[in-house]
Homo-oligomer: A and B are copies of this chain.
Amino acid sequence: MPDRIFNFSAGPGTLPLEVLQQAAKDVVNFNDKGIGLIEMSHRSKEFVAVADEAEALLREILGVPDNFKVLFLQGGASTQFAMVPMNLLGPGKKATYLNTGVWAKKAIKEAKFFGDVQVAYSSEESTFNHVPTPDDYQVDDDSEYLYLVSNNTIYGTQFHQFPKTDKMLVCDMSSDIMSKSLDFSEFGIIFAGAQKNMGPAGCAVVIIRDDLIGRTPENIPTMFRYKTHADKGSMFNTPPCFSIHVIGLVLKWLKKMGGLPVMEEMNREKAALLYKAIDATDFYRGHAEVTSRPLMNVTFNLPTPELEAKFVQEATAEGFDGLKGHRSVGGCRASIYNAFPREGVHKLISFMQKFEQQN
């Protein structure tokens, strides 16, 4: 096995080696203070500075406007599927959802606990192989928000334009946040599990417009109210300190690399290389319709499931990890997040060409 394999995992996903090395040092002895970061009080001035810097970097790099709060919460995006409607809905209130994949479906299920749900569009009948255009659906007038998943990790589709609507958008950006620039003006809430483009598992970033924070019905428990966490700078209770620290390190790396414009360019280049290789032959077939193809999670099939299994097995032996498609859909998936090196894409393409010739 080489010193470092190429990690195509959909999440937790590959992180920059220099981030891992710094995190490792900090675990044992943070800033030469004689104490490890993971055993340090979250109320210590050292850790408060860590959390403040992570938030400041996130705001700077992503261009978060002042009227949005940035929260670092536990429970993953899956907890946000419930927290969004817990905080924004209630009896008699309605929200609109676009059903473009597994994660959207899960969010729809949770929303139904707390209000009426309009599913304005579903691509389920075509195996979630595309996302809709604004002409494909109507949003009910009395809807509180339009919910979408910007990038569907499992089936591999991505919105390249956000919906045009007078409703505010609530968006699960778990698998494409920080991959490109963002205009916040149409969003009410953006959330994302950290473990793809931002850091380790164990932390979800929630970016929420100020005016949405105080609307929660009275019967919602303390930990599930956004206000609880917003009022205490995400330190109402002990936060996921290590995850927050590594998010800060990833953001420092991202800034040093040139920020989102550079990252987007690199992501477009990596994805284009891979799609070109897929389109060059009938042996590999991309799952998504071309206009919905994502930059982050490239899903494709081979002629037979047997060949797919062989492909994954031989790829793994050569140091390409995580190419097996999600257990719910099969096929192959190459997740090429920000930290995934272009070199790995080139090497995968060579491997794909060799595999095709031999099979």
Residues of A within 8 A of B (CB): 1-5, 7, 9-15, 17, 20-21, 23-25, 27-29, 32-36, 38-44, 74-79, 81-82, 86, 106, 109-110, 113, 193, 195, 199-203, 219-224, 236-243, 246, 319, 321-322, 327
Do B7 and A110 touch across chains, with their CB atoms under 8 A apart?
no
Minimum distance in angstroms from A136 CB to a CB of chain B: 28
Do B39 and A5 touch across chains, with their CB atoms under 8 A apart?
no
Do B20 and A202 touch across chains, with their CB atoms under 8 A apart?
no
- Copies of this chain present in the complex amount to 2
Minimum distance in angstroms from A341 CB to a CB of chain B: 13
User: What B residues does A86 contact at CB under 8 A?
Assistant: 221
Q: Which residue of B lies closest to A322 (CB)?
A: B41
Minimum distance in angstroms from A151 CB to a CB of chain B: 16
User: What B residues does A32 contact at CB under 8 A?
Assistant: 1
Do A28 and B33 touch across chains, with their CB atoms under 8 A apart?
no
Minimum distance in angstroms from A325 CB to a CB of chain B: 12
Cα distance A186–B216 in the bound complex, in angstroms: 38
Chain A's interface: helix, strand, loop or mixed, by majority? loop
Minimum distance in angstroms from A75 CB to a CB of chain B: 5
Contact A238 to B12, CB < 8 A, known contacts A81-B223, A223-B75, A246-B38: yes
Cα distance A27–B40 in the bound complex, in angstroms: 18
- Set B44, B113, B193, B241: member contacting A221, Cβ < 8 A: B113
Contact A201 to B76, CB < 8 A, known contacts A28-B21, A34-B2: no
Cα distance A43–B219 in the bound complex, in angstroms: 36
Do B36 and A222 touch across chains, with their CB atoms under 8 A apart?
no
Cα distance A11–B201 in the bound complex, in angstroms: 21
Contact A38 to B20, CB < 8 A, known contacts A43-B327, A221-B113: yes
Do B11 and A237 touch across chains, with their CB atoms under 8 A apart?
no
Can you sample 22 A-B contacts with CB below 8 Å? A5-B34, A9-B40, A12-B40, A12-B241, A17-B28, A20-B38, A20-B39, A24-B28, A34-B319, A43-B327, A74-B79, A75-B79, A77-B237, A78-B236, A81-B221, A106-B222, A110-B221, A195-B238, A200-B242, A201-B238, A201-B242, A202-B240
